[in-house]
């Protein structure tokens, strides 16, 4: 979505009295996104995005909000959370934890070229380096343990051949520990639809609500699987090379990362196959709900498993 929880103009206008951003002019539900309810909010003083958190525990939210504020301070183009008159980022609206952030300029580019991929690689490395000085710690909510648990939840919904594929990948990943690789704060969902372009420049990186501490290479793999694949899921070697070179210029890869790369690409593909399977087989109710195709990530995973000639990480 999605809008799972509606917000009325009257409720929002009353809520905004606790902020210093003027009076409400317009409120529009946003149909993109899958996990939270999002709205574009225009006030007499500016343009914002309102997010109502649907399922995440309230205690986990300050990590994301302070991370965005931290990265914005480090010059990265991320939404800045807006503090209310009590100096808090997080409030409550329609019974849900809620935040306002700045609305960033630009549009997603869904058919990126090598120049886009090079910038994305550089920005991701910048995000990882800036994250090193972020003091709060919270694990990746879609990390290795979640992947095992989610597989156990969805496998009974699958036909035999698909279940066998899933079981085989879970067994493979169980023998592989991402914690041996360099760790840090990862975005964990840096898909094309989470980046807004302002001409040739990155105008915004959004959707930090899957961020957490994990292997930095996992983030690179999530990003490569989305930005550098064709419609058939095959990797485009020129885009992969551009993204990895852009990244490595700021943070060179380690020998352990180079050895682990094929397995990490698989872990990253598995993570999105699983979440899409869960959303597909156990959908949540809502006013506008977007469900993404699990088949796309099953295919991507299969290709990464079969791949002989995966582009290597640069030295
Ligand atoms: N700060 C922002 N600035 C501009 N657009 C935004 C911003 N945050 C979200 N959006 C828009 O809302 C859509 C859904 O947001 P997203 O964070 O992906 O949803 P979800 O939280 O459900 O994953 C995005 O695709 C984008 O169009
Ligand atoms: N990027 C994920 C889904 C997460 O949704 P988002 O709208 O929060 O990016 C996917 O493609 O499965």
Predicted ipTM?
0.91
Ligand nearest to the CA of 64: 1
State pLDDT tens for residues 12-48: 999 999 999 999 999 999 987 678 999 999 999 999 9
Is the overall model pTM greater than 0.80, yes or no? yes
Structure confidence at residue 35 (pLDDT): 81
State pLDDT tens for residues 175-232: 999 999 999 999 999 999 999 999 999 999 999 999 999 999 999 999 999 999 999 9
Residue of 31, 33, 34, 53 best suited for mutating to test ligand 2, as the one with most atoms within 8 Å of CB: 34
What are the domain boundaries of the chain?
9-102, 114-306
Q: What is the CATH architecture of 9-102? A: 2-Layer Sandwich (3.30)
State pLDDT tens for residues 234-271: 999 999 999 999 999 999 999 999 999 999 999 999 99
**DSSP H or E stretch at residue 283:** none
> Which CATH number fits the domain 114-306, given the four candidates 3.90.1200.10, 3.40.50.10490, 3.40.718.10, 3.30.450.20?
3.90.1200.10
Atom of ligand 2 nearest to the CA of 226: 11
* Buried/exposed code over 279-309 (b: 16+ C-beta within 10 A; e: otherwise): beeeeeeeeeeeeeebebbbbbbbbbbeeee
Cα–Cα dist 219/128, whole Å: 9
Residue 14 Cβ contacting ligand 1 at under 6 Å: no
Tell which phi-psi region holds residue 82, choosing left (phi > 0), alpha (psi between -120 and 50) or beta. Answer: beta
Residue of 30, 37, 105, 289 best suited for mutating to test ligand 1, as the one with most atoms within 8 Å of CB: 30
Atom of ligand 2 nearest to the CA of 210: 8
Atom of ligand 1 nearest to the CA of 106: 4
């Amino acid at each position: 979505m999605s809008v799972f929880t509606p917000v009325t103009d009257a409720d929002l206008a009353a809520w905004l009295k606790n902020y210093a951003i003027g009076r409400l002019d317009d409120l529009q539900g946003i149909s993109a996104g899958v996990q939270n309810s999002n709205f574009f909010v225009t006030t007499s003083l500016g343009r914002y995005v309102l997010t109502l958190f649907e399922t995440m525990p309230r205690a986990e939210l300050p990590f994301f909000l302070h991370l965005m504020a931290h990265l914005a301070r480090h010059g990265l183009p991320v939404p800045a959370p807006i503090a209310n008159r009590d100096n808090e980022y997080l409030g409550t609206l329609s019974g849900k934890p809620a935040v306002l952030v700045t609305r960033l300029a630009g549009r997603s580019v869904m058919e990126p070229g090598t120049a886009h991929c090079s910038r994305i690689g550089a920005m991701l490395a910048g995000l990882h380096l800036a994250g090193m000085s972020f003091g709060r710690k919270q694990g990746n909510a879609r990390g290795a343990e979640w992947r095992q648990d989610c597989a156990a939840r969805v496998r009974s919904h699958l036909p035999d051949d698909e279940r066998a594929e899933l079981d085989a990948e879970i067994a493979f990943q169980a023998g592989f520990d991402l914690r041996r690789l360099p760790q840090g704060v990862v975005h964990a969902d840096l898909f094309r639809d989470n980046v807004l372009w302002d001409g040739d420049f990155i105008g915004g990186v959004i959707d930090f609500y899957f961020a957490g501490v994990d292997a930095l290479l996992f983030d690179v793999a999530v990003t490569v699987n989305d930005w550098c694949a064709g419609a058939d899921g095959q990797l485009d070697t020129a885009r992969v090379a551009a993204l990895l070179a852009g990244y490595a210029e700021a943070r060179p890869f380690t020998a352990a990362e180079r050895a682990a790369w094929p397995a990490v690409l698989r872990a990253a593909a598995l993570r999105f196959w699983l979440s899409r399977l869960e959303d597909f087989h156990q959908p949540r109710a809502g006013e506008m709900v977007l469900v993404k195709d699990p088949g796309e990530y099953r295919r991507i995973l299969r290709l990464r498993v079969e791949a002989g000639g995966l582009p290597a990480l640069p030295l």
